[in-house]
Structure formats: C-alpha cells, structure tokens
Chain A
Amino acid sequence: GENVEQHPSTLSVQEGDSAVIKCTYSDSASNYFPWYKQELGKGPQLIIDIRSNVGEKKDQRIAVTLNKTAKHFSLHITETQPEDSAVYFCAAKGDTGRRALTFGSGTRLQVQP
C-alpha cells in the first residue's frame, strides 16, 4: 500500500522567514495530495491540495509543489507569522482501489516572534 514520509518532524523559524516541509510517497498511481494544518485541540484543517496533473499551486502565502517523477511534494509557507505555528500533515490518495488518504507523520512548525 501507499507509504508517505514527511520531513522534518519539527521546524522552528523566525517570524517573516519561509518554511518548507517535504513529503515523499511510494505509490506512483497516487493522484491527489492535500496538506492539513492542525492546531492544538482541533481537527485537521485542509489548507491546500494539488492533483497529479499540476506541478504547483499557490494560495496567498502558501504554495505546494509536486514532482511526480521523484514522487515528492512540498509545502512552502512564506512570510511566516506566529499564527502559522501548528502541526502540518501531508497526505496522498492512491488510485488503486483503496480510497482513503495516507498521512505523513507530521511536522511541528514553531514560528518565533
């Protein structure tokens, strides 16, 4: 089945700096890659997603890139703010009959004011 690896497990940046989180996946048939932000005591919130027919997608300060050949995708947050501090999860959805998302292990992002 699908395996998703996520790095780093923790990331500390200064306010205003950029943050990059990287994920790799194993199933070349995977075609949908969402990113979730989870704040303490809350459920995961979808922040951006990308499909396999697109290489990059942006939404204000957040962008996701996908390299299908290398089977990796990344989340980029620019001009980080303290409210960006949270745990971020990447996920992948395969196209082999198993219809649920497989999640990475998570990255705890701390933005220092």
Chain B
Amino acid sequence: SAVISQKPSRDICQRGTSLTIQCQVDSQVTMMFWYRQQPGQSLTLIATANQGSEATYESGFVIDKFPISRPNLTFSTLTVSNMSPEDSSIYLCSSRLATDTQYFGPGTRLTVL
C-alpha cells in the first residue's frame, strides 16, 4: 500500500492569491494524480503529475491556473493560482502502484473568500 500526506490540510485564502499544496508518498509509486472534489460531488481529475516533465492536464484545466511539479517519484505540488471563490473545493493527491491500486491523501480543504 501507499500512505499519502498532504499539506496544508485546510486553508482560507483571499481571492487573487495563490496556494501551493504539497503531497508526499511513503513509497516509490508509478503515477501521481491531482483531483478536485467540490462539496457533495464526485472526484474530477485535474492532471497527471509526470516526474521531471510537464503535467498532463484534463480538459477544462490549464497549467497557468494549476501549475504542478513532480521533482521525484514521491513528491508533488499543486498550485491554485489567482484564486476566486469558485476554486473553493477539496484538492486530493493520489498515487498509483504498479498493480493499478490507487490511493488517496486526506485532502486539502480550500476556502476562497
């Protein structure tokens, strides 16, 4: 299995500012992902974090708004840039093992005022 930690666990931010979320996995995983979960909704994939190269973004998500880094196999960051109240959500880091098994972190609860 994989244990995933995220920092911060929650934050309240002012519109127009940016927040960087950190994700650390306790083992070397094949893939890392970032998801968004709006209140009462399902999980939506933002992007796949690729080690040492640009992330692969899903339709509706762009690098300028959600820059992602993955400098090594076990660490990734997601930045939510120029935030607006519509960005208020839970942001989840996820990692996949070679067996396809995918685990999730505890999430970062973001409120934008």
Interface of B, secondary structure class, is strand
A99 to B45, alpha carbons, bound, how many Å? 11
A46 at the interface (CB under 8 A from B): yes
A49 to B107, alpha carbons, bound, how many Å? 22
> Number of B residues whose C-beta is below 8 Å from A?
19
Given A89-B43, A105-B42, does the pair A99, B103 have CB atoms closer than 8 Å? Answer: no
Name the A residues within 8 Å of B109 (CB-CB). Answer: 41
Judging by beta carbons under 8 Å apart, are B107 and A42 in contact? yes
Judging by beta carbons under 8 Å apart, are A103 and B100 in contact? no
- Selected from B31, B48, B96, B104, the residue in CB contact (under 8 A) with A44 is B104
Interface of A, secondary structure class, is strand
Given A43-B92, A99-B48, A104-B42, does the pair A34, B107 have CB atoms closer than 8 Å? Answer: no
A101 at the interface (CB under 8 A from B): yes
Name the B residues within 8 Å of A42 (CB-CB). Answer: 106-107
The number of chain A residues touching the other chain, given as a range, is 20 to 34
Name the A residues within 8 Å of B103 (CB-CB). Answer: 46
Q: Kindly identify, within residues 86 to 113 of chain B, every residue whose CB is under 8 Å from any CB belonging to chain A.
A: 92, 96, 100-107, 109
A105 to B41, alpha carbons, bound, how many Å? 7
Chain B minimum-CB-distance residue to A89:
B42
Name the A residues within 8 Å of B66 (CB-CB). Answer: none
- Selected from A43, A99, A100, the residue in CB contact (under 8 A) with B105 is A43
Given A42-B107, A43-B106, A43-B107, does the pair A100, B101 have CB atoms closer than 8 Å? Answer: no
Mind listing 22 A-B residue pairs with CB under 8 Å?
Answer: A34-B101, A36-B104, A42-B106, A42-B107, A43-B4, A43-B104, A44-B92, A46-B101, A46-B103, A49-B101, A51-B100, A89-B42, A89-B43, A99-B31, A99-B48, A99-B96, A100-B45, A103-B42, A104-B42, A105-B42, A106-B41, A106-B42
Residues of B within 8 A of A (CB): 4, 31, 33, 41-43, 45, 48, 92, 96, 100-107, 109
List 8 A-B pairs, minimum CB-CB distance, nearest first.
A43-B104, A43-B106, A44-B104, A32-B100, A103-B43, A43-B107, A103-B42, A100-B45
16 more contacts with CB within 8 A, not counting A42-B106, A49-B101, A89-B42, are A32-B100, A34-B101, A43-B4, A43-B106, A45-B104, A46-B102, A46-B104, A51-B100, A99-B31, A100-B33, A100-B45, A100-B48, A104-B42, A105-B41, A105-B42, A106-B42
